[in-house]
Amino acid sequence: MTAPAPALAGRLREIVGVDGVLTDPADCAPFLVDHLGRCRGRAVAVVQPRSLAHVSQLLGLCDSERVGVVPHGGNTSYCGGAIPDDSGRQLVLSLKHLNRIRSVDVTNYSLTAEAGCILSQVQQAADAAGCFFPLSLGSQGSCQIGGNLSTNAGGVNVLRYGMMRDLVLGLEVVLPGGRVLEGLSSLRKDNTGYDIKSLFLGAEGTLGVITAATVKLFPQIRARATALVALPEVRAAVTLLGQLRAASGDRISSFELISRPALELATRHIPGVSDPFTAAHPWYLLCELSSARAAEPLDEVLEEALGAALTRATVLDAALVRSERERAALWKLRESIPEAQRHEGASLKHDISLPVAVLADFVTRAASWIGANVPDGRLVAYGHVGDGNLHFNISQSAGSDRERFLGRADSVRCAVHELVHEFGGSFSAEHGIGRLKVGELERYASPVELALMRAVKRAFDPHGIMNPGKVLREQ
């Protein structure tokens, strides 16, 4: 921590009160390191506003004093976007106290929440009103809706409902200088010029601070069918995706690929997680059909489709869920993979997406490159394969040297991302850019895209105070 200049500290306290400004190193520590311990920084203070007016006054002050502002949500992102740099001159702005559900409009199927609401709180508020909010992530108990909006989060229901961007109707945002964009519209149709709100979705706090959002709700899910399916190869997952979409009338909501090493990690390290099959298989798929109609016979549809796939040998085995307890166990298996990876040392993580049609060829090429070039690592791939999104991670092999393994990170990342590019994919499917992938964006975005992004940044934030150095390098 750097002690804030007394005048700045005093003015911050005038705005948010004494309790709203943290400067003690122990109090600030959790805001200065990301959840993986990969990004660390220092800050002039951590400020915790309690209202829109507070945020507006803070951004007015920081803009006139040219103090960088780092919005901080649940701190669960993978790219270090919520962590200040190490200059000690930036302010961390935590949204945790802006945590009210402002309204639920059942007639309009919409909900307005403040940015600091935890995602699970929003899901529960929707559920209590007899509706469904579909964004679902492994981090939903701690990530905030403001962070979800700012990273354009994806998760396990994208195939059916889209990413966060697709779920937003309106935003309330404070701009650098303190002006408020009052855009909490709940309209589904509004073709009135440029869609300004969409620029804040995925901007990772570089254009303004989101203080509230109106999001879409959907009818509650009343029927589900879930299965873990064993597959001989990735190509079978793509084949099954097409077959199941057709057979179920597009009722698939989740389609998650899990490699054998990923399943082994979860069963080895996470209590209560087990492999439902007696034999080992190279790949697995957690697939779920869902419907708002209780009477829909989804179990039959899934059983029939998987039976046909077994006959054609697309599928090697399948375990259909018969109770909510079994379903929870399968989802625990899938969602505990990131935690299980941490138990076995370091990992090199790549959040990539590819056109579904080339996914299998990509995995074959990339896996063979890893086999030949990363002797101390093994592929632990899993992800939202229905969206072409893979978490293409390489975990350190047992007994290997951690530092030597991590020393390969840059060359492995370059090789994987080059191959992704060759296959027409993206080096950042759902985790964003933050501070860790700024160089990758410069490498893979076209000059036209980069010039437009820089122009947008200048237009919204002429003094460059919003999350400096994230997404785009400081100019």
List contacts with ligand FAD (CB under 6 A). 35, 70-78, 81-82, 95, 115, 137-139, 143-144, 146-148, 150-151, 153-155, 204-205, 209-210, 338, 430-431, 434, 467, 470
Using alpha carbons only, how large is the chain's radius of gyration in Å?
Answer: 23
* Among 285, 287, 308, CA closest to 298: 287
In the complex, the smallest distance separating the C-beta of residue 343 from ligand FAD, rounded to whole angstroms, is 14
Burial class (CB in 10 A: 0-12, 13-18, 19+), 223: middle
Please identify, using beta-carbon distances, which residue of 205 and 298 lies nearer to ligand FAD.
205
In the complex, the smallest distance separating the C-beta of residue 249 from ligand FAD, rounded to whole angstroms, is 26
Please identify, using beta-carbon distances, which residue of 148 and 214 lies nearer to ligand FAD.
148
79 neighbors 440 (Cβ within 8 angstroms) = no
Q: Which residues are CB-neighbours of 255 under 8 A, at least 6 positions away? A: 159, 237, 241, 244, 285, 286, 287, 288, 384, 385, 386
Please identify, using beta-carbon distances, which residue of 179 and 235 lies nearer to ligand FAD.
179
Q: Which residues of 347-362 are buried (b: 16+ CB within 10 A; e: fewer)?
A: bbbbbbbbebebbbeb
In the complex, the smallest distance separating the C-beta of residue 357 from ligand FAD, rounded to whole angstroms, is 23
C-alpha to C-alpha distances, 107 to 103, 111, 191, nearest whole angstrom: 12, 11, 22
Q: How far is CA 129 from the centre of its chain?
A: 26
In the complex, the smallest distance separating the C-beta of residue 18 from ligand FAD, rounded to whole angstroms, is 23
Instruction: Return the residue nearest ligand FAD (CB atom).
Output: 147
How far is it, in rounded angstroms, from Cα 80 to Cα 470?
9
**Dihedral of alpha carbons 170, 57, 468, 90, sign:** negative
How far is it, in rounded angstroms, from Cα 72 to Cα 367?
36
In the complex, the smallest distance separating the C-beta of residue 216 from ligand FAD, rounded to whole angstroms, is 17
298 neighbors 248 (Cβ within 8 angstroms) = yes
* Three-state secondary-structure class, residue 8: helix
In the complex, the smallest distance separating the C-beta of residue 40 from ligand FAD, rounded to whole angstroms, is 14
In the complex, the smallest distance separating the C-beta of residue 2 from ligand FAD, rounded to whole angstroms, is 19
121 neighbors 97 (Cβ within 8 angstroms) = no
In the complex, the smallest distance separating the C-beta of residue 336 from ligand FAD, rounded to whole angstroms, is 8
Please identify, using beta-carbon distances, which residue of 140 and 248 lies nearer to ligand FAD.
140
